[in-house]
Amino acid sequence: EGVGPQEYTLIKMKVQEPYPEKLKSLSKYPIFLVAATLRPETMYGQTNCWVRPDMKYIATLTKDGEVLISTERAARNMAYQGFFEKDGQFNLKLHLTGQDILGAGLTAPLTSLKTIYALPMLTIKEDKGTGVVTSVPSDSPDDYAALQDLKKKQPLREKYGIKDEMVLPFEPIAIIDVPEIGTLSAVAVYNEFKIQSQNDTEKLLAAKAKVYLKGFYDGVMLDGEFKGKKVQDIKKLVQKKLVDSKEAFIYME
Ligand code: A2H
Pairwise CA distance, residues 144 & 121, whole Å: 11
pLDDT, tens only, 73-110:
999 999 999 999 999 999 999 999 999 999 999 999 99
User: Is 231 part of a structural domain of the chain?
Assistant: yes
Sign of the alpha-carbon torsion through 171, 12, 246, 28: positive
| Spacing, Cα 25 to ligand 1 middle (Å) | 31
CATH number at residue 100: 3.90.740.10
Q: Is residue 2 part of a domain?
A: no
Domain annotation covers residue 144: yes
- Asked if residue 237 belongs to a domain, the reply is yes
Q: Ligand 1 mean position to 36 CA, how many Å?
A: 7
Query: 148-179: per-residue pLDDT in tens?
Result: 999 999 999 999 999 999 999 999 999 999 99
The pick from 11, 77, 140 for probing ligand 1's pocket by mutation, whose C-beta has the most ligand atoms within 8 angstroms, reads 140
Is the CA virtual torsion 33, 131, 112, 104 positive or negative? negative
Q: Would residue 105 count as lying in a domain? A: yes
Percent of the chain with pLDDT over 70: 99
Assembly ipTM = 0.99
**pLDDT band at residue 65, thresholds of 50, 70 and 90?**
very high
Strands 176-177 and 56-61 come out as: unpaired
Residue 119, H or E segment? strand 116-120
Q: In this structure, is residue 64 part of a structural domain? A: yes
**Closest residue (by CA) to atom 20 of ligand 1?**
140
Q: What is the tens place of the pLDDT at every residue in 101-148?
A: 999 999 999 999 999 999 999 999 999 999 999 999 999 999 999 999
Average pLDDT for 192-216: 95
* Domain encompassing residue 162: 7-252
Residue 36 alpha carbon, nearest atom of ligand 1: 13
Instruction: From 73, 128, 147, 235, give the residue whose CB has the most ligand 1 atoms within 8 Å, as the site to mutate.
Output: 128
At residue 1, the pLDDT reads 54
Neighbours of 122 (CB within 10 A): 17
Between the CA of 38 and the centroid of ligand 1 the distance, in Å, is 6
Average pLDDT over residues 230-238: 96
Ligand 1 site: residues with CB under 6 angstroms? 6, 36-39, 42, 124-125, 128-129, 131, 133-136, 139-140, 143, 212
Tell me how many degrees the CA angle 64-77-248 measures, rounded to the nearest 5.
Answer: 45
pLDDT on residue 216: 82
Note the pLDDT tens digit of each residue in 11-36. 999 999 999 999 999 999 999 999 99
Q: What is the pLDDT of residues 210-227, one digit of tens each?
A: 999 888 889 999 999 999
pLDDT score for 235: 96
**Taking all residues of the chain, what is their mean pLDDT, rounded to a whole number?**
97
Whether 88 is in a domain gets the answer yes
Q: How far is the CA of 37 from the centre of ligand 1 (A)?
A: 5
pLDDT band at 230 (very low <50, low <70, confident <90, very high): very high
Residue 231 scores a pLDDT above 60: yes
How many structural domains does the chain have?
A: 1
In this structure, is residue 78 part of a structural domain? yes
203 pLDDT band, cuts 50/70/90, is very high
Regarding beta strands 133-135 and 48-51, do their DSSP bridges make them parallel or antiparallel, or are they unpaired?
antiparallel
* Alpha carbon nearest to ligand 1 atom 32, residue: 37
Say how many Å lie between the CA of residue 8 and the centre of ligand 1: 9
Which amino acid is present at 103?
A: G
- Ligand 1 atom 28 nearest Cα: 37
